[in-house]
Amino acid sequence: MAKRNDAGGDGPPVPDLIPDRPSLKTVRDAARDCQACDLYKRGTQTVFGEGPRRAEVMMVGEQPGDAEDLAGHPFVGPAGKLLDRALVEAGIDRAVVYVTNVVKHFKWEPRGKRRIHAKPNGAEIAACRPWLETEIALVKPRVVVLLGATAAQALLGRGFKVSQQRGMFVPSPIAPRVTATVHPSSILRAPDDESRRAEMKRFVADLKRVAAELGKPGAK
Ligand code: URA
């Protein structure tokens, strides 16, 4: 089939795949066959977001990693385990969190026998974005937490600097409260135990601000 969009995909663009009057289940089912960019050729499967239909918090990462690609679930690998630990430390109940990614297929390059994470490009992010927008529209989270620069810049603009603006709540039409922090995998990449502990502490401090926000009365 001829290429139908700028992201090199072979299938129709995502808006054509989103069902009329979508629910999380019908959207997730539709995303399974997505070929809107060429990442579907590299990934094992679409990894869609997961969590309660009315989650108070949505956490948005970059893309599934190796473990997520194989399992078909977001944030189940090493970064997800670190995120789970940080949520416990911050006092956020995992049961109120919906986790998802800006890009729903694993982009990787071979290195020996390993599959090494590769950053999605702007066209791939743009092609996938309507899935995320639909998730946000359906879940209507009170707080959105963007994990890492790819997610933060995709939703808050290229000028957003996680290093300078992490932990702050910034105005955005996507949710009543929106904040960004580092990606948990950056903590795993810290050069030594001491810096890993320090980075984890800062990450938990950012999440504690989210916990404080959830403690405030607010319509849901
Ligand atoms: N990193 C992400 O950004 N998302 C995942 O689901 C796993 C690792």
135 CB within 6 A, ligand 1: no
pLDDT the model gives residue 220: 55
Tell me, in angstroms, the distance from the centre of ligand 1 to residue 193's CA: 22
Instruction: Give the position, in ligand 1's atom list, of the atom nearest the Cα of 183.
Output: 3
Q: Using CA of residue 97, residue 102, residue 106, residue 109, what is the dihedral sign?
A: negative
CA distance 104 to 102: 7
Domains and CATH numbers, the chain: 14-214 (3.40.470.10)
pLDDT the model gives residue 101: 98
61 CB within 6 A, ligand 1: yes
Q: Which of 33, 39, 41 is nearest to 12 (CA)?
A: 33
CA distance 174 to 176: 7
pLDDT along the chain (220 residues), means of 10: 68 94 97 96 97 97 98 98 98 95 97 96 97 98 98 98 98 98 98 98 98 78
Contact call for residues 79 and 185 (beta carbons, < 8 A): yes
CA distance 139 to 117: 28
pLDDT the model gives residue 2: 45
CA distance 118 to 160: 21
Residues 6 or more apart whose Cβ sits within 8 Å of residue 126:
6, 7
